Amino acid sequence: MCFILHSAAVRQGIVDTVKRALGDPKVKSVVICGQNGIFCGGADIKEFGTNMSGPPLVPMIHAIEAANKPVVAAIEGSALGGGLELALGCHYRIAHSKARLGLPEVSLGLLPAAGGTQRLPRLIGVPAALDLITTGRHVAAAEALQLGVVDRVAEHSTVDAAVKFALSVAAKPLDARRISTYPCPCPSDFDALFEGAMQKVRQNARGAIAPVACVQAVRAAATRPYLQGMEREKELMATLFTSGQARALQYCFFAQRAVSKWSMPNGARWDTSKPRPVHKAAVIGLGTMGRGIAVALAQTGLSVVAVETQEKQLMEAKQAVSGMLERGAKRRGLTPAALHKISYSHDIQAVADVDLVIEAVFEDMALKKKVFQQLSAVCKPGTFLCTNTSALDVDHLASQTRNPELVVGMHFFAPAHVMKLLEVVYGPQSSPQAVATAMQLGKKMGKVGVAVGNCRGFVGNRMLKPYIEQAFFLLEEGATPELVDRALEEFGFPMGVFRMSDLSGLDVGWRVRKGDGLVESGLASGQPTRLREGRRYSPLGDLLCEQGRFGQKTGRGWYQYDQPGSRVARSDPWFHSFLEEYRARHGLVARRIDHQEVLERCLYALINEGFRILEDGIAAGPEDIDIIYVFGYGWPRHRGGPMFYAGMVGLARVLERLEHYHQAHPDVPYLQPCSLLRRLVASGSPPVHRWREVIKKLHSQL
């Protein structure tokens, strides 16, 4: 008998059919399998948040486990979440060699609450169960067999194998096959084990509560009888189920899917724009970004042409790229076939026959313009020309080419072969096909692509500017880098703004500010000013750069490091006295600044810019912004992204605080609440999925 499991109807079906099978003397054993080659992806996520209808999973799994005829799970495709929990209730598990198993509930802010936290440790031991349940990672069949999650792996028809097997065990006693009756294998260093696990989980969780609850539930499996453990599992799940974090994580799950359904203000959309296939791609410039992009391209199986003008750089890049591909292949247990897919050249002529080019030369407009002119002349007709610029004007580059409709931005994040985010930047002339092709290529490269309009800094970096600016102002007003970073790290960022700035290099922003004519030679004139065209400006970053303090790479920045390149940031007494002198020089009196002010000023300024981006039509919806921040900027996923977070805080509250801070700092335009935020509050602060309606109305009135 075969079943699928993903909805109330299916659960009812299983309950009824198992009951019939057990009551039918002709049936000797039962096989549970999925339909269409997939055992089960778990509870239907759409059911979350609504009242689950139909028979609940726990008693259903109990009934299966208690059956007096052997029940065998035949796992093909995947057994995730509730699906694996069901399989754990069966007496035997047979998986296809390509099947994947896991309990991913933690990534949705939940725990496996149909006995998963109680059965898995009884079956495979506490350490392995903790690993699977607290990370939510999926394992392949081979690993599942090694861990003891499944009894056998089938190479061919899993169902046939399971049926054969079920018949062979039809008369065997089942007492030793009911996992809930197993004692949980208890290691001798029990306390140390859980203490260590809890510490590790808390550190990685950055404030997320679900992984912590998972450890508590597994602990209950190890310390309490099964039924009491189940009670604890239920209790912990109840807390998680109604938490804001679960809402945020489930929002992220849907938002990630929503952003692939991109749209442009001119009406072009994902479902009406056909991508063109890309078989051969090129990367121009093999610095840090170009190397990572070349690796990511080659790993998709594409032929790649890599062009770099400097001989020495080319040699180094070749080695570095090969190393990255070899390590990547080793991790995945593959041979680095991608190595042979890359050819290297000094000469831009080598890109003549590629389908798509990604330019990653220095961030210099004059140079990029020249490269785009060359590309336009060299490439075959129809080649898409993409730039990896993080801030320069994509339209301007497009205007250098014969076919501006073929030009889009593909903004990767460092290291490009690791980081998931890709901003696909379209200009007014970009064709829907160019956007569709870049989005599809990004997906093939394993990236989360978000289509955004062209503006200074696009979405991510544009919102970062007011955030960093507030952090600088807070230093002037009395905070320290340590205080600001601690507040942001406690919020859940992996790194605060100053540690991050030290890591990415202070000189990057300095060069941009110089280009914008903002930097004065402060020390030369003796007194750098703190205003630019009526707007408050902090020259603190410029002053550090003038001292050669570029961050980690020079061993000094906002913090000090044991040596250049070292990663451990230490408080720097030099900086503290420099800051005090700076304040004294400018007549600034330090006041006490608390974490709440740090968060409100940095985050609400960033969020306010997010609303402006929505107002300007640069991002199609709040989900796009949130996914950019979660995947590219370390925004804690359990807080759902900045726009979702604003909704959780309450839009009226965000507006009120921005008004308050803008009143206190009238020379900071970023703190002035934008009209979309006002409009949303005036419309009764609708939930985030209804913002698009308000935005549409706003646009139609413009």
Q: Catalogue the active-site residues.
A: 85, 105
- Short-list 659, 662, 697, 658, CA closest to 679: 697
Among 371, 424, 451, 695, binds ligand ADP (CB under 6 A): 371
Does residue number 309 form part of the binding site for ligand ADP (CB under 6 A)? yes
Q: Which of the stretches 127-135, 201-209, 286-294, 467-475 binds ligand ADP when contact is defined by CB under 6 A? A: 286-294
Does residue number 288 form part of the binding site for ligand ADP (CB under 6 A)? yes
Least distance (Å) from ligand ADP to the CB of residue 297?
Answer: 15
Does residue number 360 form part of the binding site for ligand ADP (CB under 6 A)? yes
Alpha helix ranges (H) inside 403-505:
432-444, 460-477, 481-491, 497-504
| Closest residue to bound ligand ADP by CB | 287
Among 7, 35, 260, 313, binds ligand ADP (CB under 6 A): 313
Least distance (Å) from ligand ADP to the CB of residue 664?
Answer: 38
Given the complex with ligand ADP, which of 135 and 309 has the nearer CB atom? 309
**DSSP H/E element including 19:** helix 8-23
Among 190, 254, 362, 574, binds ligand ADP (CB under 6 A): 362
Q: Which residues contact 547 (CB under 8 A, 6 or more apart)?
A: 556
Among 308, 423, 476, 600, binds ligand ADP (CB under 6 A): 308
Contact 509, 518 (CB under 8 A): no
Residues 196-220 as b/e (b if ≥16 CB within 10 A, e otherwise) read ebbeebeeebbebbbbbbbbbbbbb
Among 53, 157, 266, 310, binds ligand ADP (CB under 6 A): 310
Does residue number 354 form part of the binding site for ligand ADP (CB under 6 A)? no
DSSP 3-state of 154: strand
| Eight-state DSSP code of residue 37 | T
Given the complex with ligand ADP, which of 44 and 316 has the nearer CB atom? 316
Tokens of 389: 């610029």
| CA-angle at 107, arms to 102 and 110, nearest 5° | 90
Does residue number 618 form part of the binding site for ligand ADP (CB under 6 A)? no
- Short-list 252, 253, 321, CA closest to 292: 321
Given the complex with ligand ADP, which of 215 and 294 has the nearer CB atom? 294
Separation of first and last alpha carbons in the chain: 61
Given the complex with ligand ADP, which of 290 and 555 has the nearer CB atom? 290
Q: Which of the stretches 8-16, 284-292, 321-329, 469-477 binds ligand ADP when contact is defined by CB under 6 A? A: 284-292
Least distance (Å) from ligand ADP to the CB of residue 308?
Answer: 5
Does residue number 574 form part of the binding site for ligand ADP (CB under 6 A)? no
Residue 154 β-bridge partners: 96
Least distance (Å) from ligand ADP to the CB of residue 390?
Answer: 8
Does residue number 285 form part of the binding site for ligand ADP (CB under 6 A)? yes
Does residue number 343 form part of the binding site for ligand ADP (CB under 6 A)? no
Residue 72 β-bridge partners: 31, 92
| CA-angle at 414, arms to 412 and 415, nearest 5° | 110
Distances (CA, A) of 536 to 262, 383, 520, 525, 533: 37, 45, 14, 19, 8
With CB under 6 A, what is the number of residues at the site for ligand ADP?
Answer: 17
Does residue number 284 form part of the binding site for ligand ADP (CB under 6 A)? yes
Contact 674, 611 (CB under 8 A): yes
Least distance (Å) from ligand ADP to the CB of residue 285?
Answer: 3
Q: Which of the stretches 30-38, 215-223, 354-362, 583-591 binds ligand ADP when contact is defined by CB under 6 A? A: 354-362
DSSP codes joined into one string, 274-285: PPPP-SEEEEE-
Least distance (Å) from ligand ADP to the CB of residue 286?
Answer: 5
Where do contacts with ligand ADP occur on this chain (CB under 6 A)? Answer: 284-290, 307-310, 313, 360-362, 367, 371
